[in-house]
Amino acid sequence: MIEADSRRDRDGSGLGPNLEREQGSYTTGEPGTLFVITAGMHGNEPSGILAARRVLRQLESQSLPMRGRIVVLAGNLSSLTLGVRYVQQDLNRMWSEEAVAEVLSRAPEELRYEDRDQRELIGIIESLLIGERAEKWEHVVFLDLHSTSGAGPPFTIVGDTIQNRRVAFEFGIPAILGLEENVHGTLLGFLGTRGYAAVGIEGGQHDEASTIDNHEAAIWLTLVSMDMLWPREIPELERHRVCLAAAASGTPPVVELRYRHGLEEDEEFEMVPGLTNFLPVQAGRLLARSQRRGEAPAEVTCPEDGILLLPRYQGQGLDGFFIGRTVDPRWLALSAWLRKLKLDSMLTRLPGVSRPDGAPGQLRVNQRIARWLTLQLFHLMGYRRRRSEGRYMIFEKRVERPPES
């Protein structure tokens, strides 16, 4: 175990008192992939920063012949200093188009703590993509490193695109689909809508030393999957593979989120002790106790049979827990084949399905007419439910940026 606040690496080094937004970068000048790591988006989750520092030190000390550039960014600087999830607002729930535009329009003196973090992150990311630091990248990939308050194995959070699968499936740990249908305003969602490969890693519990090891392994394996380093060029690559495989042993390869238990700002919420990620749960099982202002205490039970994910054992955050179900990997193979053939163009010929104002990448479904259509059909084609508009449901398909020629 590392220290209770999860702020020290195995060599005894900590985050340090003066955190910089850009933790470091490495390149040999060879063309290739831009690989951006964001970590510490929540201040009680510093393990990703410590892991990324390890990788940067090894890249530099051994002068590894990497193709492209790796950049490491720290997220919520104020809350990282305090060791809390956030100071005024959750930085990883602020990335809707409207919220980002509003923050960018405000005067500097009007910005709150997390507003400043967001504006600085946007500035650096844009400088790498389209600004003074931009190059003709063959690929662009983002890896967002997190940890969990509940115990359990590492897993990935994936917007279901083919390019995200390429990265996530390299890790050999469970991939969680459907987050964008249940949680809004995440950094991954913001980057994904712009067509970039963007994958999240929940490396393990906040205060476990193994969480840093898992994050480090994920970084090295991403360098391999994006052809930035050849396997033979990475010292102890097999150890990193074994690290993740052992940590995720016995878990399902793919899980689809089906339910989110959201909380109110003033709600007192306490999970039943001892619940873990990937715990099989049955409908009606007691999971938590809750009390909202002006209401009597209530028991929170599981709404359906499934797999428990992200039980909240921390004081901040409005996600109580999630329930998912396993997905047959053959389903993903079928969906990849259907998308390659671009058969989603046939969906608008179905009754009750149209494109809103001809918008590419969106479908509007009249639920009164198209009742037989299931979420699984749209998921196969890469469409995810975004919002309801009266009797209509709007689905959206993530764009994917083609590699630079």
Task: Kindly state the tokens that stand for 7.
Answer: 């702020």
Predicted confidence band of residue 5 (pLDDT cuts 50, 70, 90): very low
- Rounded CA-CA distance 20/223 in Å is 23
Is it the case that residue 47 has pLDDT exceeding 70?
A: yes
- Mean pLDDT, to the nearest integer, of 170-191? 91
DSSP string, 165-209: HHHHTTS-S-EEE-HHHH--S-HHHHHHTTT-EEEEEEEEETT-H
Burial 317-340 (b: 16+ CB within 10 A, else e): bbbbbbbbbebeeeebeebeeebe
Is it the case that residue 304 has pLDDT exceeding 90?
A: yes
* pLDDT at res. 92: 96
123: CB partners within 8 A, 6+ apart: none
Predicted confidence band of residue 307 (pLDDT cuts 50, 70, 90): very high
Q: Which of 60, 82, 71 is CA-nearest to residue 36? A: 71
Is it the case that residue 354 has pLDDT exceeding 90?
A: no
Predicted confidence band of residue 387 (pLDDT cuts 50, 70, 90): confident
Is it the case that residue 193 has pLDDT exceeding 90?
A: no
Task: Kindly state the tokens that stand for 382.
Answer: 């890469």
- Mean pLDDT, to the nearest integer, of 224-246? 94
Q: Cα angle vertex 335, ends 332, 339, to 5°?
A: 140
- Mean pLDDT, to the nearest integer, of 349-368? 81
Predicted confidence band of residue 4 (pLDDT cuts 50, 70, 90): very low
- Give pTM, 2 decimals: 0.90
- Mean pLDDT, to the nearest integer, of 69-74? 98
Q: Which domains does the chain have, with CATH numbers?
A: 22-251 (3.40.630.10), 256-326 (2.40.50), 329-397 (no CATH)
Find out whether 385 and 362 touch, Cβ atoms under 8 Å.
no
Is it the case that residue 6 has pLDDT exceeding 70?
A: no
Count Cβ atoms within 10 A of the Cβ of residue 129 and give its class: 0-12 exposed, 13-18 middle, 19 or more buried. middle
- Rounded CA-CA distance 174/187 in Å is 20
- Rounded CA-CA distance 248/229 in Å is 24
82: CB partners within 8 A, 6+ apart: 43
- Mean pLDDT, to the nearest integer, of 320-324? 97
- Mean pLDDT, to the nearest integer, of 119-127? 96
pLDDT tens, 267-280? 999 999 999 999 99
* pLDDT at res. 303: 97
Is it the case that residue 376 has pLDDT exceeding 90?
A: no
* pLDDT at res. 13: 47
The crossing angle, in degrees rounded to 10, of helices 237-247 and 209-225 is 120
- Single-letter amino acid, residue 333: A
* pLDDT at res. 353: 86
Is it the case that residue 373 has pLDDT exceeding 60?
A: no
Q: What's the chain's average pLDDT?
A: 90
Q: Which of 355, 334, 359 is CA-nearest to residue 346? A: 355
Predicted confidence band of residue 370 (pLDDT cuts 50, 70, 90): low
* pLDDT at res. 259: 94
* pLDDT at res. 323: 97
Predicted confidence band of residue 404 (pLDDT cuts 50, 70, 90): low
Could you write out the three-class secondary structure of 72-102? EEECCHHHHHHCCCCCCCCHHHCCCHHHHHH
Is it the case that residue 180 has pLDDT exceeding 70?
A: yes
Is it the case that residue 12 has pLDDT exceeding 50?
A: no
Number of residues in the chain: 405
Is it the case that residue 213 has pLDDT exceeding 80?
A: yes
